[in-house]
Structure 1
Amino acid sequence: MGTSRISLDNPKLLSQLSDDDFQAALLEGVSRTFALTIPQLPVPLYRAVANAYLLCRIVDTIEDEVSLSAQQKAYFCNEFIEVVRTGDNSEPFAVELAPLLSEQTIAAEHTLIHLLPRVIQITHSFEGEQVAALSDCVKTMAAGMPIFQAQNLHNGLATLADMDRYCYYVAGCVGEMLTRLFCHYSPDIARHRTELLELSVAFGQGLQMTNILKDIWDDAGRGVCWLPQDIFTETGFDLKDIRTANACPAFTTGLERLIGIAHAHLRKALDYTLLLPAHETGLRNFCLWAIGMAVLTLCKIKQNLNFTASEQVKITRNSVKTTIIATKLMGRSNLLLNVLFNWTSRGLATPGWSYPISSSKANPDF
């Protein structure tokens, strides 16, 4: 996996790489964060998880493509579900979708769509349970996300339950898929399958909520708001006025409450991680690095509630390095990890306010 920095401008050269180097190169192009964390996994898991991320990124590319109508997005999502499930028709799917991508879609995602047949070929090189886990995740995500994309999102979501459902389609189902892959990999992990599956939804929700809170103003700039109105109704703020929300006490109070909810979900993410065997350091690092970066992001938001752009609350490279070092040093000790989490996330909870946390998944109703 030493050629992961090869240029994505040459799809022909990429197609000549081994499966591992091919996926590593695509990961480097579409997500530096996951290009950092996924290689921490044991090799059998690395291959499947890298492939899973690329499949999910293809769904994201479809959903984010500004040139596609809601009907076209639903069509391509449904077609992609079948491509992943069967392994068939990946070439015509890519040929049909690729020319429709606009310049607003990053070059690495254009390359990903052009090379989609190779990604699908790798998908169907895995064992049956692995393919089923990836296919089920894509089905849930690709069927659920268009439900929200078809809505008017200018004024936010109606309720926190709606936000929960959105986070499930985007991230909670990914947590379930990863858990199935982890359990397939290790009988020791599989002993905790039921509890891990439940906690995995909260894990995904904590990470996704953190992203939503970080990107509030970037999303608002393109006329989108993923915040739940009912939380802000309690504080006396209407999300239709979000463009004038900066420094408004009623808005920042609601924001603090959402930070507290995200923090509570990340606490469950740590509980999830502590159920993984201590000797599985790669698996623990994969989880802990994501949790650590999310907690530090929430801390930056809490310290700067009047921020106006995601760049203002983006954690530094030094913070990422510190997270990596700390978790590597303490990763085998549940006690030390609990202490580290509690110390790092102090102040994120909102005193005197109870969080309406649900650990059950938002059952999709297709």
Structure 2
Amino acid sequence: MKISSNNMSYFNPPRVGETYQQNLTLNNKGGLWFQSFLVSEDSNQESPGSKFQKHIPAAQTDKILQAMASYFRKPYDEIRATDIGIWELELTNTDGEMYRYEGSLCANFIVDGVDLSDLIRDTLGMYELIVFDDHGTDDRIQNITVHYKGLTEIHTRMADYFEDNLPWDTYDEQIVIDRMSGMLRILQTIGQTGTITHTYQMGKMVSSLLNEIYLDRLFSDQEPIQRITKDAPSEDDDYTITITYDKQPEKIIYGSFENGDLPNRWGSFVETLQFFLESYGLGKVLNPRIFGKRKRRLGEYIFCSVVFSDSEKSYYYLSNSDTILEGDHVQVPVGNDGQTIGARVVDINYYTAEAVPFPIDQIKYIVED
């Protein structure tokens, strides 16, 4: 396997002395070859960076090669974007046959829930690799802990059942995102009332979340220790954010939990975290989209009504999958040339052959993996 990644672009090019190209080669015997090139002051002169060759455990290279084979043995749609770097890949099988692929540095290749670029970086311990997404870095966040203290008004429908119900109580909330344990935990402590804990033990997905937070530089514009309004955290609506890195000194940010005293990109951090949490939702047992949906009976057809982004008019498409839910975004074929576009499912119904609302032979099927 050989990957050549070049992140040179017009609007956001690497600066003089920074890496613009990396070549990485691996074989199934544990061989590793790496070379990088730096931007030179003289555009006509090549400036070499790191170059080395070493042997690593074959189990590590096998892990990467098997993941690459698993992904690229399927039909690959080339991803191209303007003003962004490119990658080129050569895969050679045991028969000596070589296959070439290429695309832009915005690829998100997932195998068994893990991004291929992150898999390569983590397995080799080379976090500076550009690979397929240009998310390489010479440092990483190991842990983010957000700690909030304040007062909260207790609202509960069960208030009438508690003799000593208090309208206000102390409130403590912690969000911990930890790379080593692969865990994200949200802990809420409401005075003497009790605690609420949400734990996401998601391994590599937590690592990917921390990588995204670091690369988006969500806290990079803050000083290592920032006193915003108050000299130190108090008991009244205060927060402390502690960030631990591989190499950088620990960063501590604290202040009053209000607009203007929070880090400049706090909203972006919240959006990133919410997207991660919403990806897993509340599960199935408490989800009305799940328990409110009946299964298909023998002999029934699944009719899905979908709408496109530019219209509110709905169209029928068939599906063979009972896993599609109202609100899901799907790919559907349009026209006669096999083109597919995105649509949103707004209704699902089941019909026998005698009761279908539209001729079966005139309806196309939703594209399913």
TM-score (norm 2): 0.25
Greater share of strand residues, 1 or 2? 2
Tell which has more relative contact order, 1 or 2 (C-alpha 8 A, sep 6+).
Answer: 1
Q: Normalising by the residue count of structure 1, what TM-score does the alignment of the two structures yield?
A: 0.25
